[in-house]
């Protein structure tokens, strides 16, 4: 009887392993060298890179600090951007991470792209006609694209485009100049959505500019709700544009709307976040879209059409995120309090590797089978 129970128990464990039962996420924390928000992160090679941001105050203490985590050695190092900048955005292509942001009210006006080469562990800088705060950045078809943004009193409609294979820069144009838009890529299509188009009145946009890398053509679509300060990511052929400030003329209400573009059908639909979110960040891993900010990570499983939730160590906004391997990294951000307080916490969530049947378990099963026979 005992042997039979043991056999059943072992078979249950083995079957669970074979069926791929989903274990819980594991959670650990680390620290940036300097607390800051309005930074950005990118995963390139074996490294996760956190660049720029605001160190303290609001809009004044721009940071040139770069924290680099090497997932192979488990060690951190630091580097320095060519100039301090906040509201940083990033894109990755060809083994390089591209960063750009707002260099401050003192200028100089014009665009600066900071480029990190993971193979040589080196930095370079290029100047382009435009950049600024609140851009959208993504990579599609071997091209790195930085779109929109604000500086020198102008809401830019420029898209700075780097062709990786040709090693050349060019400029395209959005249908509408705007800031705090969101960008992502699905297949051969880059999408730039939302933002606001007038600073004092906080007029939000519902415009989605769509670039097809295969045809080199631009088209437009619309979000279900006009909003700014949203976030975007892509999973399994679908692009997700989540949260943000809706078009009420004030920065008082967050949205729970997620606009979903299905590249297979070319159609749009909506889903709803578990809670309204703004100044969030978004990434994807393992068939799931993750939206983080305000102390939580809302996880949407595309295949099951279900939501789950993780907790961040700190309730922060304007944090940075990146995915490398089976881990998701959320770092920095602004936290509640007087002025603009920032955090140095890096939350790391890892999906464990699927469980495998151990030799010991197989041996035990074989031994029990012999005893029965």
| pTM, to two decimals | 0.87
- Average pLDDT on 277-303 reads 97
Lowest-confidence pick of 13-22, 140-149, 222-231, 294-303: 13-22
pLDDT range class, residue 133, cuts 50, 70, 90: confident
Confidence grade of residue 249 (pLDDT, cut at 50, 70, 90) = low
pLDDT at 359: 40
- pLDDT band (50, 70, 90) for residue 163: very high
Which pLDDT does position 154 carry in this prediction?
A: 84
User: Going by DSSP bridges, is the β-strand pair 327-331/320-324 parallel, antiparallel, or unpaired?
Assistant: antiparallel
Specify the long-range contacts of residues 74-80, CB closer than 8 Å, at least 24 apart. 76/30, 76/33, 78/33, 79/116, 79/123
Same domain, 206 and 241: yes
Residues 92 and 38 in one domain: yes
Comparing CA positions, the residue from 231, 222, 145, 152 lying closest to residue 188 is 145
Both 105 and 91 in one domain: the answer is: yes
**pLDDT at residue 42 is higher than 90:** yes
Check whether residue 7 and residue 146 sit in a common domain. Answer: no
Give the mean pLDDT of 308-315.
95
Domain count, the chain: 2
Label residue 24 by pLDDT band (50, 70, 90). Answer: confident
Q: Do 56 and 103 belong to one domain?
A: yes
Least confident of 114-118, 198-202, 271-275: 198-202
Q: Is the peptide bond before 108 cis (omega within 30 degrees of 0)?
A: yes
Q: Indicate if 139 and 205 belong to the same structural domain.
A: yes
Task: Give the model's confidence band at 357: pLDDT under 50 very low, under 70 low, under 90 confident, else very high.
Answer: very low
First to last CA, the chain: 14
Question: Same domain for 85 and 11?
Answer: no
Tell me, what's the pLDDT at 69? 98
Mean pLDDT of the chain: 86
Give me the CATH number covering residue 140. Answer: 2.120.10.80
The residue segments making up the domain with residue 6 are 1-21+355-373
């Amino acid at each position: 009887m005992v042997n039979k129970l043991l056999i059943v128990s072992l078979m249950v464990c083995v079957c669970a392993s074979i069926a791929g039962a989903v274990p819980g996420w594991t959670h650990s924390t680390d620290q940036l060298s300097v607390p800051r928000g309005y930074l950005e992160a990118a995963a390139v090679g074996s490294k996760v890179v956190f660049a720029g941001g605001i160190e303290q105050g609001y809009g004044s203490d721009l940071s040139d600090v770069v924290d680099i985590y090497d997932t192979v050695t488990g060690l951190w190092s630091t580097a320095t951007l060519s100039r301090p900048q906040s509201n940083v955005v990033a894109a990755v292509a060809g083994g390089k991470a591209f960063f750009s942001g707002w260099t401050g009210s003192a200028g100089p006006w014009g665009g600066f792209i900071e480029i990190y080469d993971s193979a040589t562990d080196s930095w370079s800088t290029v100047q382009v006609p435009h950049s600024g705060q609140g851009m959208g950045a993504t990579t599609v078809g071997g091209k790195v694209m930085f779109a929109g943004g604000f500086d020198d009193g102008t809401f830019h409609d420029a898209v700075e485009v780097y062709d990786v294979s040709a090693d050349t820069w060019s400029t395209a144009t959005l249908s509408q100049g705007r800031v705090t838009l969101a960008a992502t890529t699905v297949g051969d299509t880059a999408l730039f959505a939302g933002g606001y188009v007038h600073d004092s009145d906080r007029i939000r946009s519902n415009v989605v500019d769509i670039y097809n890398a295969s045809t080199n053509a631009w088209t437009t679509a619309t979000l279900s709700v006009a909003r700014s300060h949203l976030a975007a990511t892509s999973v399994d052929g679908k692009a997700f544009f989540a949260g943000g400030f809706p078009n009420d003329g004030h920065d008082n209400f967050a949205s729970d709307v997620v606009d979903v573009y299905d590249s297979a059908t070319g159609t749009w639909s909506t889903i709803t976040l578990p809670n309204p979110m703004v100044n969030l960040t978004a990434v994807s891993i393992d068939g799931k879209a993750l939206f983080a900010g305000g102390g939580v990570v809302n996880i949407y499983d595309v295949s099951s059409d279900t939501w789950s939730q993780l907790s961040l160590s700190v309730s922060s906004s304007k944090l940075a995120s990146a995915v490398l391997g089976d881990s998701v990294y959320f770092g920095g951000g602004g936290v509640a309090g007087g002025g603009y307080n920032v955090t140095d916490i890096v939350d790391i969530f890892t999906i464990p590797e699927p469980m495998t049947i151990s030799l010991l378990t197989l041996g035990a099963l074989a031994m029990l089978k012999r005893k029965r026979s």
